[in-house]
Chains A and B, each alone.
Chain A
Amino acid sequence: MPNDTPVPLRPTSPHLTIYRPQISSVLSIMHRMTGLVLAVGISLLVVWLWSAAYNPAFFGTLHSWLASPLGLLLLFGWTLSFYYHFANGVRHLFWDIGKGFALHQMEKSGWAVLVFTFMMSAVTWGFVYGATGGQ
């Protein structure tokens, strides 16, 4: 039977903007964003290897691009993204086997992921700086 009663304007499904950002939701969207960043990064790695194999002249050009301030900034961004996605991915794998799923554990492991990310990025770039003598 047709129903002519107008549908009241009820609130639609949750809008992200009305939620207070929480560590769980912020880390979740960051996992996606860093994943996309890394997809671009691995493609650059392919360009790097391709040039080593097929275009040695471009290989040198690529290296000087990457050594520029913008190139280093990009590389640093990829380092952060990698360690974040790596650590948070391992966190996901533990959830998948049913471990660490309680709220207080998730909060703790979330902060641990962030600490790991910044610490390892600093260590990595400290190592790079030491190995190249700041070149």
Chain B
Amino acid sequence: MQDRFASPLRTRLSKVRGLGAARSGVGHWWLQRVTAVALVPLTLWFLVSLFVVLLTPNVVVVAEWFASPLHALLMVLLFIAAFFHAKLGVQVVIEDYVHGPMAKYTLLLANVFICFTCAAIGILAVLKLHFLDVVAGAM
């Protein structure tokens, strides 16, 4: 099977070692691009359509919006792509500007934990709003 990360972007030596010059290979760079490309349509969709919902301080309107499987799906995808992208970006900023090992690794860990937790909370909220409609219909 063709390994995406063993593409021509890597030298043979790095393929053998499984590590790049930065000891992490091309995976970080590549995933940042993948999530960036995904975020182009997702954020545009979010701005164009959800912005209308954002303006109404009405929970019912928001819940009705997410009753649509397409809206719920796109929102889940947006959270996954956005927080993955944020995790990768913030990680580089920490690596570049924080030099004390203790502070650096604490922040790197916190970054991963916060990004994944926020993504999970966001997805859970979308699912709750989405299935609210189903539960109400079944009762």
Chain A partners chain B: yes
B59 & A43 in contact (Cβ 8 Å cutoff): no
Report how many residues on chain B are interfacial, defined by Cβ distance under 8 Å: 35
Q: Is B90 an interface residue (CB 8 A)?
A: yes
- Inside 8 A of A131's CB, which chain B residues have their CB? 52, 55
- Inside 8 A of A89's CB, which chain B residues have their CB? 36, 39-40
A86 & B122 in contact (Cβ 8 Å cutoff): no
Report how many residues on chain A are interfacial, defined by Cβ distance under 8 Å: 32
- Inside 8 A of B118's CB, which chain A residues have their CB? 42-43, 46
- Inside 8 A of A23's CB, which chain B residues have their CB? none
- Inside 8 A of B114's CB, which chain A residues have their CB? 43
- Inside 8 A of A124's CB, which chain B residues have their CB? 47, 51
Name B residues whose Cβ lies closer than 8 Å to a Cβ of A. 33, 36-37, 39-40, 43, 47, 51-52, 54-55, 57, 59, 62-63, 75, 79, 82-83, 86, 89-90, 93, 114-115, 118-119, 121-122, 124-126, 128-129, 132
